[in-house]
Amino acid sequence: MSASYYQPLYLLVVSILSLIVVHYYNEGGREYKKTGLFFMFLITVFLVFFIGFRPNDITFMDTTGYVRGYYNNEGNDFVWNSEAQNLIFDNLYIWTASKSLGYSTFFIFIAAIYFIGIFAACWIMFPNNPSSSYIVYLAAFSTFSYAVNGIKAGAAASIFLIALAIAVRVRKDWQYVFAIPIVIVSYFFHHSMILCLGAFVLAFCFRNTKVYLVFWIIALAIAALQINYFQNLFGELIVEDDAHGAGYLLNEESEYGYIGFRWDFIIYSAIPIIMGWYSIFYKKIQSNNYKFLLNIYLITNGIWMLCMYANYTNRIAYLSWLMYPFVLIYPLLNCNWGETRDKTFIYIISGHLVFTLFMTFVYYG
């Protein structure tokens, strides 16, 4: 199948699934956990092989680079590289090539980590609504892209989401330790997850959501004023350990797309924050787990705004967007929202899908 059909077909499947969820909630929010889980399992298997067997085509951007690297290492003796920048991912990638398993085998395995990880996180975080939350995640703006393009970050993100789901389900602080090893594994898949790891620890140690909201607003003001101080500071701090990543921050590779004030990204990023403000300060939802989730999002998204003028700024934004659907729907599915829950959820899932379709076929189309 032509590479150009992949994203439209993916979004067609997701749109149909979203309409099914809308129908169920329009009928009173009847849960369909048992049948829904089996159906979502079949969808996950389909997505793993559909994405895993994608052709080597420039449409998928980074995919061509991974295929080229695979052939460069195919059949070579494998030696574990303890100094690899992404310890688990890089060694797995080279090992697959050394065994001549085929690049599609590698892509299938990464796609399995990605989609099964997301499904598992939905199952853990939303035990009463795993299927509907999974479909909301599949409909997110970045989900398809990080299945075929930024696959290192995508796989790392799905692992981090499992840790995050475990963390928001715990009852006592000491139980957070069960999530920490999984967060560390996500870092070894992609080193950019150090930001999420740091935000996870900070949100655990300091839990005042109002302070994080103020930080986000200040970061927005700094971005609007085009102050690059923090972006350059972060670049200088990591240049010795990650020269490539520092190059993005220090604008040493300016050919990488548009650099400027991303009002479109800001509007998109602000939706879960508005939802959080409304939930906590208007609906008076006092869930420490939700606040923990929202705080991590505020930290990571605020850091992105401080680095907004970097190359590949969307890859920095993704470190907050990876939890975007969860922050958006958590108060509806896991908190006492009230009688308007089903209607509000229908609006959320519909608007969420329409935004993705608009950005894909109109804004970027």
pLDDT, residue 322, reads 96
pLDDT, residue 241, reads 59
C-alpha–C-alpha distance, residues 232 and 248, integer Å: 10
Task: Yes or no: say if 244 and 328 are a contact pair by the CB < 8 Å rule.
Answer: no
C-alpha–C-alpha distance, residues 123 and 131, integer Å: 8
Output the CA angle 147-22-159, nearest 5 degrees: 30
Q: Average pLDDT of 157-166?
A: 96
Who wins on pLDDT, 192 or 171?
Answer: 192
pLDDT higher than threshold 70 for residue 238: no
Task: Yes or no: say if 333 and 132 are a contact pair by the CB < 8 Å rule.
Answer: yes
Number of neighbouring beta carbons within 10 Å of residue 52: 20
Q: Average pLDDT of 271-294?
A: 93
pLDDT, residue 16, reads 95
Q: Give the CA distances from residue 207 to residues 211, 286, 298, in Å, rounded to whole numbers and listed in that order.
A: 9, 12, 12
Q: Give the CA distances from residue 85 to residues 192, 243, 354, in Å, rounded to whole numbers and listed in that order.
A: 10, 11, 38
Q: Average pLDDT of 170-197?
A: 89
Instruction: Output the 3-class SS for the chain.
Output: CCHHHHHHHHHHHHHHHHHHHHHHHHCCCCCCHHHHHHHHHHHHHHHHHHHHCCCCCHHHCHHHHHHHHHHHHCCCCCCCCCCCCCHHHHHHHHHHHHCCCCHHHHHHHHHHHHHHHHHHHHHHHCCCCHHHHHHHHHCCCCCCHHHHCCHHHHHHHHHHHHHHHHHHHCCCHHHHHHCHHHHHHHHHHCHHHHHHHHHHHHHHHCCCHHHHHHHHHHHHHHHHCCCCHHHHHHHHHHCCCCHHHHHHHCCCCCCCCCCCCCHHHHHHHHHHHHHHHHHHHHCCCCCHHHHHHHHHHHHHHHHHHHCCCCCCHHHHHHHHHCCHHHHHHHHHHHCCCCCCHHHHHHHHHHHHHHHHHHHHHHHCC
Q: Average pLDDT of 166-173?
A: 84
Q: Please, what is the average pLDDT of the chain?
A: 88
Task: Yes or no: say if 344 and 286 are a contact pair by the CB < 8 Å rule.
Answer: no
Closest to 23 (Cα-Cα) out of 358, 342, 357: 342
* Residue 251 binned pLDDT confidence (cut-offs 50, 70, 90): low
Cα-Cα end-to-end distance for the chain: 20
pLDDT, residue 1, reads 77
pLDDT, residue 258, reads 59
pLDDT higher than threshold 90 for residue 338: no
pLDDT higher than threshold 90 for residue 187: yes
C-alpha–C-alpha distance, residues 154 and 301, integer Å: 17
Could you tell me the two tokens for 363?
């804004």
pLDDT higher than threshold 90 for residue 120: yes
pLDDT higher than threshold 70 for residue 294: yes
Identify the burial level of 165 via C-beta atoms within 10 angstroms of its C-beta, where 0-12 means exposed, 13-18 middle and 19 or more buried. buried
Q: Average pLDDT of 238-250?
A: 58
Q: How far is CA 362 from the centre of its chain?
A: 22
- Give pLDDT tens digits for 13-67: 999 999 988 888 887 655 555 557 888 899 999 999 999 999 998 889 889 999 9
pLDDT higher than threshold 90 for residue 123: yes
pLDDT, residue 256, reads 47
pLDDT, residue 324, reads 97
Give φ, ψ of 17 to 5 degrees: -65, -40
Sequence ranges of the domains in the chain: 3-363
* Residue 255 binned pLDDT confidence (cut-offs 50, 70, 90): very low
* Residue 243 binned pLDDT confidence (cut-offs 50, 70, 90): low
pLDDT, residue 226, reads 84
Closest to 36 (Cα-Cα) out of 24, 51, 53: 24
**pTM to 2 decimal places:** 0.92
Q: How far is CA 169 from the centre of its chain?
A: 19
